[in-house]
A and B are shown apart, each in its own frame.
Chain A
């Protein structure tokens, strides 16, 4: 079983739609959770951290369920510029080292 699992997609949605991505992780010691965005042939960039209480940044809402080891990302009112691959990322600290594990990503294509 992969440490971080995501549906690879692609998710093809029309502009203005709401889309949700899910992610599960296997390591119960995971402490920090993130969503990164990666454009084609570019480096990943942090979209948002994910907190236990859930958090929102404009059209983006992230949720964390530690009991189920499940993370979600909701994008409302999709824009063409949201087209990218979204990476679910978890990390934990061990021996002073931050071990970061990336999911394989979910591809989103927003269609005009």
Chain B
């Protein structure tokens, strides 16, 4: 079955540590996204990537880094510079814009819940 896989589902980190969240998709989608969700604040865009070896900062990129070495993979690193990293992190992807049947929806992974101790 095609889909987006995020791991780990739950992660605990000590202050000052970097952690990397994995996101893999086998949907052959070009674009991939990372969002952060905090209670009562909706989803906020951290980084996005339209093609391999290219990515752009979203609205809240400070303290995060990404890479896009393969079409299928878009890992997110939460660095020690991120002041309040405890959150629910969601990875999403979308098909090529040129796809006639594409309605514009995003396809989400199940999320990774990060807690800083």
Task: Write the residues of chain A forming the contact surface with B, with a CB cutoff of 8 angstroms.
Answer: 4, 8, 31-32, 34, 41-46, 49, 87, 91, 93, 96-98, 100, 102-105
| CB–CB B42/A102 < 8 A | yes
Is B31's beta carbon under 8 Å from chain A?
yes
CA of A32 to CA of B48 in the docked complex: distance in angstroms? 19
Task: Write the residues of chain B forming the contact surface with A, with a CB cutoff of 8 angstroms.
Answer: 31, 33, 35, 40-43, 45, 48, 50, 56, 88, 90, 94, 97, 103-106, 108-111, 113
Known: A32-B103, A104-B42. 10 other contacts (CB 8 A): A4-B42, A32-B104, A41-B88, A43-B108, A45-B108, A49-B104, A87-B42, A96-B97, A104-B40, A105-B42
Interface of A (DSSP majority class): strand
In the assembled complex, the CB of A70 is this many whole angstroms from the nearest CB of chain B, namely 18
CA of A104 to CA of B45 in the docked complex: distance in angstroms? 13
- Chain A to chain B: the 10 pairs with minimum beta-carbon distance, closest first: A32-B104, A104-B42, A43-B108, A102-B43, A46-B105, A102-B42, A49-B103, A43-B111, A43-B110, A91-B104
